[in-house]
Amino acid sequence: MTQPAYSPGLEGVIATATSISYLDTEHEQIVLRGYDLMELARSKRYTEVAYLTLYGRLPEASELRAFEDRLRQEAELPEEVYRLLDLLPSRMHVMDAQRTVLSYLAGLEDPAELQDTSPEADLRKGVRVLARMPALTANAYRALRGLPRVRPDPSLGFSEGFLYMLVGTRPDPEAVRVFDVTLTCYIEHEMPNSTFAARVIASTLSDLYGALVGAAASLKGPLHGGANEAVAHMLLEILEAGGSARAEQYVLDRLRRGERIMGFGHRVYMRRPDPRAVFLREALPGLAGRRPEGEELLRIYGVVEAVMRREKGLHPNADYPVGLLYYLLGIPIELYTPIFLAARTAGLVAHVAEQHGDNRLFRPRVLYQGPRGLRP
Active site residues: 224, 266, 319
Q: Is 275 a binder of ligand COA (CB under 6 A)?
A: no
The torsion region of residue 330 among left (phi > 0), alpha (psi -120 to 50) and beta comes to left
Binding residue for ligand COA, selected from 59, 171, 214, 265, defined by CB under 6 A: 265
Comparison of 128 and 189: residue with beta carbon closer to ligand COA = 189
Comparison of 105 and 342: residue with beta carbon closer to ligand COA = 342
Binding residue for ligand COA, selected from 97, 261, 284, 304, defined by CB under 6 A: 261
Q: Least CB distance from residue 14 to ligand COA, whole Å?
A: 16
Q: Is 260 a binder of ligand COA (CB under 6 A)?
A: yes
Q: Least CB distance from residue 73 to ligand COA, whole Å?
A: 33
Whole-number Å distance between alpha carbons of 87 and 263: 34
Q: Least CB distance from residue 263 to ligand COA, whole Å?
A: 5
Query: Could you tell me if 171 and 340 are in contact, meaning their C-beta atoms sit under 8 angstroms apart?
Result: no
Binding residue for ligand COA, selected from 31, 248, 312, 330, defined by CB under 6 A: 312
- Give rounded-to-5 percent helix, strand, coil for the chain: 60, 5, 35
CA 340 to chain centre: 3
Binding residue for ligand COA, selected from 158, 264, 279, 327, defined by CB under 6 A: 264
Whole-number Å distance between alpha carbons of 99 and 214: 8
Residue count at the site for ligand COA (CB under 6 A)? Answer: 16
Q: What does the chain come to in residues? A: 376
Query: Could you tell me if 318 and 280 are in contact, meaning their C-beta atoms sit under 8 angstroms apart?
Result: yes
Q: Is 171 a binder of ligand COA (CB under 6 A)?
A: no
Of 176, 75, 184, 175, the C-alpha closest to 134 is 75
Q: Is 9 a binder of ligand COA (CB under 6 A)?
A: yes
Comparison of 99 and 344: residue with beta carbon closer to ligand COA = 344
Q: Least CB distance from residue 228 to ligand COA, whole Å?
A: 8
Q: Is 266 a binder of ligand COA (CB under 6 A)?
A: yes
Query: Could you tell me if 16 and 198 are in contact, meaning their C-beta atoms sit under 8 angstroms apart?
Result: no
Extract long-range pairs of 62-67: CB within 8 Å, 24+ residues apart.
Answer: 67/127
Q: Least CB distance from residue 112 to ligand COA, whole Å?
A: 38
Q: Is 272 a binder of ligand COA (CB under 6 A)?
A: no
The upper half-sphere exposure of residue 250, i.e. CA atoms within 13 Å in the direction of its Cβ, equals: 21
Binding residue for ligand COA, selected from 21, 159, 317, 345, defined by CB under 6 A: 317
Letter for the amino acid at 216?
A
Q: Which span (139-147, 155-163, 207-215, 221-229) binds ligand COA, by CB under 6 A?
A: 221-229
Whole-number Å distance between alpha carbons of 168 and 178: 17
Q: Is 148 a binder of ligand COA (CB under 6 A)?
A: no
Which single residue brings its beta carbon nearest to ligand COA? 265
Comparison of 167 and 261: residue with beta carbon closer to ligand COA = 261
Helix (H) or strand (E) holding 22, with range, is: strand 21-24
Q: Is 309 a binder of ligand COA (CB under 6 A)?
A: no
Q: Is 314 a binder of ligand COA (CB under 6 A)?
A: yes
Query: Could you tell me if 184 and 46 are in contact, meaning their C-beta atoms sit under 8 angstroms apart?
Result: yes
Binding residue for ligand COA, selected from 15, 147, 223, 306, defined by CB under 6 A: 223
303: CB partners within 8 A, 6+ apart: 244, 247, 248, 251
Letter for the amino acid at 317?
N
Helix (H) or strand (E) holding 29, with range, is: strand 29-32
Question: Where along the sequence are the contacts to ligand COA (CB under 6 A)?
Answer: 9, 223-224, 227, 260-267, 312, 314, 317, 319
